[in-house]
Amino acid sequence: MDINWLAVIAAAASSFLLGGLWYSALFSKAWVSAAGLSEAQIKGGNMALIFGGSFVLALIASASFAVFLGPEVNAATGALYGLTAGLCWVAASFGVNYLFERKSLALFLINGGYHSLQFTLIGLILGAWR
């Protein structure tokens, strides 16, 4: 199967940029609170590992979604498939874990919302870049 690696990299970059916006500008305080983290925990840790690892994982997600979509998908269909994957596979799977882990609805909505939009963007970019 032919994979457009430039599209995969662009899709991964969109995930990375969306995550920065989502978890800092849009939902920073709500996410930190719902996740039970402190500001010190957010600012600490190995940032190279966190950001580098996140980008590698976004690359893996984008590449595997490119394989799933195949070569004949356009931007609209890619976005629809991405929304479906994000909402019905990723967020729904989080929901199962969050119920058993007794995590809050707020954390579920923040994380599930991010991944729903993340995969919508991935599908849109991969579908558009055919």
Numbers of helices and strands, H then E, in the chain? 7, 0
Given a cut of 90, is residue 89 above it in pLDDT?
yes
- Spatial contact of 129 and 6, defined as CB atoms under 8 Å apart: yes
Query: Which pLDDT value is given to residue 51?
Result: 93
Task: Kindly state the percentage of the chain with pLDDT values over 70.
Answer: 99
Report the pLDDT averaged over residues 21-47: 93
Predicted TM-score (pTM) of this structure: 0.94
- Ordered by start, the domain boundaries in the chain are 5-128
Report whether pLDDT(85) > 80.
Answer: yes
